[in-house]
Each structure stands twice: as structure tokens, then as C-alpha cells.
Amino acid sequence: MTLNHTHDPATRSWLASANAAGTDFPIQNLPFGIFKPKATPALDWRAGIAIGSDVLDLPALAATGLLQGLALSTAQAGAADALNPLMAIGPAAWQALRHAVFALLKADASAAVQTQVSACLHGQADVEMRLPARVGDYTDFYTSIHHATHIGKLFRPDNPLMPNYTWVPIGYHGRSSSLQVSGHGLRRPNGQTMPPGATSPTFGPCKRLDWEVELGVFVGTGNALGEPIALGQAEDHVFGICLLNDWSARDIQAWEYQPLGPFLAKNFSTTLSPWVVTMEALAPYRVAMERPDNKWDDLPYLASDANRQQGALDIQLDIGIASEAMRQQGQATHVLCTTSYRHAYWTLAQMVTHHTVNGCNLQPGDLLGTGTLSGPESTQAGALIELTQGGKLPVAMPDGSQRTFLLDGDEVTMRGWCQRDGAARIGFGDCRATVLPAMSI
């Protein structure tokens, strides 16, 4: 995706909130989500675009007569209660709608246009959000070599990084039914654990509940069964990116993960942010791949000069905790990690290509997780198990408490944004959930 006029940082909107300093949703962003006004019936979900502090109602915009051709038919696809039909149309349609909406929101739009578009706006405070798509399948990858090495040292001190890691974009099949949109509570899971020195496992609430800082990648157009997607075409099949928190029960994980890997330690909940930032909006933030081991001999189906030079994205991320006591005192979230997607060992295109190289068919709305996006520094650890070295180094909280892992009542908030000189800052909104006590069984 190349730069064009929709990336111009000097462009302003006639909607004042879209020009506010630090907004996640300036006119250069225009992410998609599924919403309904709080005052409308429960089934009145439709697609919208975030702009400033508002949501632009796509079906309402389609009815104004302001859109034409491919932009109009794409907006009309937003009348569904999930983005899947819109995702399936393809990049030419997504771009046509983005460019048309950009023109309608620009500061030089006529007074008549502003009046018509204003009637299609809802305040974000006045709407409810749901998952952006109906997710048929969810695959979670493992793209940070820093996270893989740090976790490997905790579980396998003598062999932290498996020999296949630098050759294969590793992933596992997640559970789509337990995906939740930001704002929902997270119920502490129950499960089996093996206490140190014990000869039989115990059952009860997880004691080592953790977060994982990830991105969620939504598939747009799919591929036919048996027809792999080549690396050069991989991003044409990606609709966009959201924030993803892959909650993890570390004590359950340590007991169950051999020999088949994640199961109950991962499938109880995954939280997504509601807004999907398109690949076109992310074009100004492309960067070269990083390989700390300087290994560049990927197998040919995973290698290209273009992917190496511009396949990575500098999406900055942070995550932190606001305890119940902190929230009662009006204190802000205490940020414990700040990292970036640019540190990933494998790119988004490599994930898509490897996923389909055996003929696996992706479908519109399928979700790919990037895996925990830890960076090289200790402050860039994307999970508490890394940050606290398996619980050995508690972190101090502003309310005087300490954390090795999450406690009931903790509100966890993850944020993401892109920012650099010569480009407009764009953001992803929040990915937030509060830890609730385990259910008795």
C-alpha cells in the first residue's frame, strides 16, 4: 500500500474533535467497527467509521446520495451486523470507500455536505460496540523472538528457543467463541495445576493470571481450499488490525502444555478492541524487518526484498493496571510495558502466507493473533510472566500494593498508536477488561 492524499498530515476535518491533539481517530485514520446507538433496539447493529469523538453511520451515509459507484456499494455492505460482507469485497472497494469518506469529512467540504454527514454521526459515548466481525477461525502466532526466548528460559532453561523458531512462523488454533470486545469483564478461570513438589494435581482458580500484548489481524478476502497465498499478495487479503489481549493462566499452562501446547490456559477469553485500522491507514508506518540474530535465509516462499525492507509496522503499544483502590481514588492506569510491533520476527505477510502454504483456506473475518509483542528491553516485556521473571520480581503499584500476576478487581487497559515525524498520529482506541472472581464449581 503506497502513500496517497489520505495520509497528508496537514489535512483537517470540519469536525473539530477529529483535529484535537492526541486523538486516536483523525481524518487520516478512519477505522471500521460495528456499533448501535444505545437508545435503539438490541438487534440494530451496523458498520461505522470512527472520526474524532464520533461514529459515522455507514448505512445512513449510503442513504444520503453522497456516495456513488464502488464506494456506495461498499457502504451498503455495512448494513450487516458484522463487517464480514464488507471485508469480503476486497482492497479496491475498501479504498474507494475510504477516499470518498475522506473527501466528505475534509474541512473544505461544502456546507450542504457537512449538514448531511452530520446527520449520520453518533457520539462514541452514546453507542455500544461489539466484535467487529463474526470470527469463524482464530489462529494465534508466536512472532516475537524476544518473548519466545524469555518464556523459553522460564520453562526450558537449557533449551529456551526451539530450533524451528527461526524457520517457521509458529501458531496454534485458538478459540473463537470466547473472543470478547473491550469493556467486558474477564472471569478468572478454574483448572488443574501441579504445585511444586506435589505428586498429583489440584483443582481451583488460576493463581497466575496474565495478559499478553498482541495485535489482531482480520482477514478480508479469503482463498480457495488448496490454493496458497503468495507472499507478494498476502496483504491484499488483510482487512486491518486491532488490539488483542490474549489472557493466559500460567499455572494451568505449565501443567497442560506438553505435548500439544495451549488449551484451557488460553481458551477462556481473548479481548479485542472494537475498531479495525485498515492497512491503507497504516501505510506511513511501514519499516524494515528486525532480526536480532541477523538470520535472513528464510525459505523462498517466505522471502522477498519488499517484505524485508517494508514488511514490518511500527505500531506502538502499552498496557497497564488500575487496581480497584486506584480507580476509587481516581488514579490513572499504571503502565507497566511499552513496546512496538516492529520487533516481531515474522511479518504480517509471512503469517498469512505460511498459514495458507499447505492449502488452508482463510475466510473473511478470520482472525490471526500476532503473539506477545515483547521488545528487547525489560520494560518492553509484553506479559507479566516476563516482567516479573515468573513471579520472582514483583512490580510496585501506585496504591502501595505489588503485582506478580493479576488480582481480582484489576482493570487492565492496552492502547496502541502510530506516530512519527511527517505523518499524522493515529490510534486504535482501548482494549480493556476487569478481572472478576472465579465461578465456584
Q: Which of 7, 147, 237, 354 is catalytic?
A: 147
Encode the chain in three state secondary structure.
Answer: CCCCHHHCCCCCECCHHHHCCCCCCCCCCCCEEEEEECCCCCCCCEEEEEECCEEEEHHHHHCCCCCCHHHHHHHHHHHCCCCHHHHHHCHHHHHHHHHHHHHHHECCCCHHHHHHHHCCEEEHHHEEEECCCCCCCEEEECCCHHHHHHHHHHHCCCCCCCCCCCCCCCEEECCHHHEEECCCCEECCEEEECCCCCCCCEEEECCCEECCEEEEEEECCCCCCCCCCCHHHHHHHEEEEEEEEECEEHHHHHHHCCCCCCCCCCCCCEEECCCEEECCCCHHHEECCCCCCCCCCCCHHHCCHHHHHHCEECCEEEEEEECHHHHHCCCCCEEEEEEEHHHCCCCHHHHHHHHHCCCCCCCCCCEEECCCCCCCCHHHCCCHHHHCCCCCCCEECCCCCEECCCCCCCEEEEEEEECCCCCCCEEEEEEEEEEECCCCC
Catalytic-residue membership of 237: no
Instruction: Give the residue numbers annotated as catalytic, written as ranges.
Output: 147
